Structure 1
């Protein structure tokens, strides 16, 4: 006769584990300092990584976004920006081999600049300063090359039949997103762009005279709403473990960002 299948223990309470992960990133405390009433720190850390690898955090965020879309509570004037996060020495030294999955970048989204080790978080927020999409890169990465990736991350499921909504009405961005490729990308998708043009592009166009063409359309009144993404960044930076990175793995840090975004949308 074959032996009975080996069974593992019951899952630890999901609510308590979520509270443990949130406590760690709200306070930026070491995992081992987790209060006893929040359970084992190994359980919380393993759950954070496991759900990051299998995409659970992104699915939860998609579910709360779908609920907001069903209630017509998303303002589709989208603002895009990024913020640099200082990485402490605890974030360095992750193994190059044996990574938990293909979602972990080789550089662990760590870059070195004049300020030392850092990570950059790229955001797209709705008009009410709530995150619709986010991606992490190394700190020295430029904003413009990541623009299309951030835009492709916006996927809000609809409550009824139909494909997820991926196209905002308007996209607001500062000078860093002004390259022609980004404007062309929005034009192909039928999205109105309100992007500030840097002075060097303006002078280059003027020097060419008629060959420089007409300046891109810019609505100064609509651009004032771009502060929504700044307010969104400030909301997430209230979590000390997000304003200062201590995670060795990029997927762990991005999972914590998704958890904070879920909390923001759950309070709507």
Structure 2
């Protein structure tokens, strides 16, 4: 990934207060799911004392992250996943009948509060340099995202 241009996707984790915790860049043509592990690996929330927290209570994601590997990863770590199942996956499972397995748990009420990532990414996208992606390298573009994220944290 040599350029930060128009084909760059921003993946991020945000807390409940719409503040960014992790930014990860990926090429625009890649699938969203493989980047999920990079986002989770970069997650560090400072505590008053002790090591930073790396395991959230709940992970809310959109349908692009609905993969068995992601659900298994979260389950092994004791994290509750709130990820809707796409219609095609639901149809495949129903076609298998009783062998299709049980549908994954989904908490609709919790998911309705899941627009925190969208509300978190909107203020940095108002910056001209981030919105138009003038930077040539992904590293410089990522630095601009971190600076914008630090302004969000200082506004609290």
TM-score (norm 1): 0.56
Cα distance change, pair 214–108 in 1 and its aligned pair in 2 (3 A):
same
* Residue number in structure 1 paired with 2:43: 154
Cα deviation for residue 110 of structure 1 reads 4.8
Give the secondary-structure state (helix, strand or coil) at the position aligned to 1:150. Answer: helix
Bigger Rg over Cα: 1
* Residue number in structure 1 paired with 2:118: 230
Structure 2 residues without counterparts, runs of 5 or longer: none
Cα deviation for residue 138 of structure 1 reads 1.3
* Residue number in structure 2 paired with 1:200: 88
Please tell me whether the aligned partners of residues 109 and 139 of structure 1 are also in contact (alpha carbons under 8 angstroms): no
* Residue number in structure 1 paired with 2:57: 169
Cα distance change, pair 109–177 in 1 and its aligned pair in 2 (3 A):
farther
1:59-78 mapped onto 2 (5 Å cutoff): none
Give the secondary-structure state (helix, strand or coil) at the position aligned to 2:114. Answer: helix
Cα deviation for residue 235 of structure 1 reads 1.4
Structure 1 residues without counterparts, runs of 5 or longer: 1-106, 112-116
* Residue number in structure 2 paired with 1:136: 25
1:9-20 mapped onto 2 (5 Å cutoff): none
RMSD of the TM alignment (CA)?
A: 1.3
* Residue number in structure 2 paired with 1:242: 130
1:14-93 mapped onto 2 (5 Å cutoff): none
